[in-house]
């Protein structure tokens, strides 16, 4: 009986570790690949150790894309988007959770509807709008359309509902203005929820492909996903620089993830998992 238990435990361990290897191996190969020349990546039998081609790959990647600018585009867009969108959804969530006002139910119903509708529906009219505004190849074209995220608003509302009204009442009696109450009383209390929402928004923007692919067609405005997909479209794909590009788009997120993993997991899961 005891022996049986130990063997079953060992089997579970082996299977789980095999799973871990399958989950992690592509990352390893991605990083190793970024240090190899194109030909070496496809060598049979493969060389599974890092090479010395990293600098050369970086140089060619930089020549074909201007990687620093592209990295900056991605970072700038994702950061501005995250900060503003988190604030907007916290404000809207607060209004929905803590106030009664005319039109509240109608607007909340609209938000619930937009949660259900696939975003693909908006692509064509949004593109036409960007053409009309002359916004193709601009940051605002990427940031504005999804800046008010129904999902984030919904999550913030759920979190704000848990705050007792008495906190706000007490501040009002102390003479605090409504803005002061929001910024100095409400926001600090909801910090964990805002962190989760922020991470969720950052990741979805950093990884977004379809909309940026449609609105950005000049190289110096590309975000990382668009730049990577453009490398694949080239007549002769240089796999070394492609691997380096994917590594550069993944490593920063990976570092953040390892540092903040608890927040990260609940953020990416959209706050659906409470720990």
Partner 1 sequence: MEQTEKVVNANTSFRVKTRRGLLTPKNVPYFFIGPAFLLIMIFTVYPVISSFILSFQEVRGVEKSFVGLANYTRLFQDPIFYKSLLNTFQILIVQVPIMLLLSLLIAVGLHSSMLKGKAFFRISYFMPAITALVAASIVFMILLDENFGLVNYFLSLFGVNSIPWLTTPFWAKVSVILVMTWRWAGYNMVIFLAGLQNIPSDLYEAASIDGASKVKQFFMITIPQLKPVFIFTVVMSTIGTLQLFDEPFILTGGGPNNATMTITVYLYQAGFKFFDFGYASAIAYVLVIITAIISWIQMKLVGDE
Which part of the chain contacts partner 1 (CB under 8 A), choosing from 56-64, 75-83, 187-195, 248-256?
248-256
| Contact flags string 137-156 toward partner 1, x per CB under 8 A | -------xxxxx-x--x---
Task: Tell me which stretch binds partner 1 (CB under 8 A): 49-57, 60-68, 189-197, 236-244.
Answer: 236-244
Q: Does 104 bind partner 1 (CB under 8 A)?
A: yes
Q: Which is nearer to partner 1, 16 or 162 (CB)?
A: 16
47 scored as a contact of partner 1 (CB under 8 A): no
Candidates 56-64, 65-73, 190-198, 240-248; binding stretch for partner 1 (CB under 8 A): 240-248
Q: What is the contact mask toward partner 1 in residues 174 to 213, using x (rule: CB under 8 A)?
A: xx-xxx--x--------------------x--xx-xx--x
170 contacts partner 1 (rule: CB under 8 A): no
For position 173 contacting partner 1 by CB under 8 A, the verdict is: yes
| Cβ-Cβ contacts under 8 Å for 228 (sequence gap 6 or more) | 242, 245, 246, 249
């Amino acid at each position: 009986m005891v022996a049986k238990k130990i063997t079953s435990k060992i089997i579970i361990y082996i299977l789980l570790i095999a799973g871990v290897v399958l989950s992690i191996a592509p990352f390893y190969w991605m990083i190793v690949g970024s240090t190899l020349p194109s030909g070496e990546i496809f060598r049979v039998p493969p060389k599974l150790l890092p090479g010395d081609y990293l600098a050369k790959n970086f140089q060619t990647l930089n020549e074909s894309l201007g990687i620093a600018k592209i990295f900056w585009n991605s970072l700038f867009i994702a950061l501005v988007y995250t900060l503003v969108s988190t604030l907007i959804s916290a404000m809207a969530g607060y209004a929905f959770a803590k106030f009664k006002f005319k039109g509240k139910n109608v607007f909340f119903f609209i938000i619930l509807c937009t949660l259900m509708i696939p975003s693909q529906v908006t692509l064509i009219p949004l593109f036409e709008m960007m053409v009309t505004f002359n916004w193709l190849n601009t940051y605002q074209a990427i940031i504005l359309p999804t800046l008010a995220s129904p999902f984030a608003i919904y999550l913030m509302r759920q979190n704000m509902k848990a705050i007792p009204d008495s906190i706000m009442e007490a501040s009002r009696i102390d003479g605090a203005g409504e803005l002061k109450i929001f910024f100095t009383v409400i926001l600090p209390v909801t910090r964990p929820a805002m962190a989760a929402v922020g991470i969720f928004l950052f990741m979805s923007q950093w990884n977004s492909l379809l909309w940026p692919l449609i609105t950005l067609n000049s190289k110096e405005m590309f975000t990382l996903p668009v730049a990577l997909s453009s490398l694949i479209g080239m007549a002769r794909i240089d796999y070394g620089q492609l691997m380096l590009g994917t590594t550069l788009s993944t490593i920063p997120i990976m570092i953040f993830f390892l540092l903040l993993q608890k927040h990260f997991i609940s953020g990416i899961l959209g706050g659906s998992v409470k720990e």
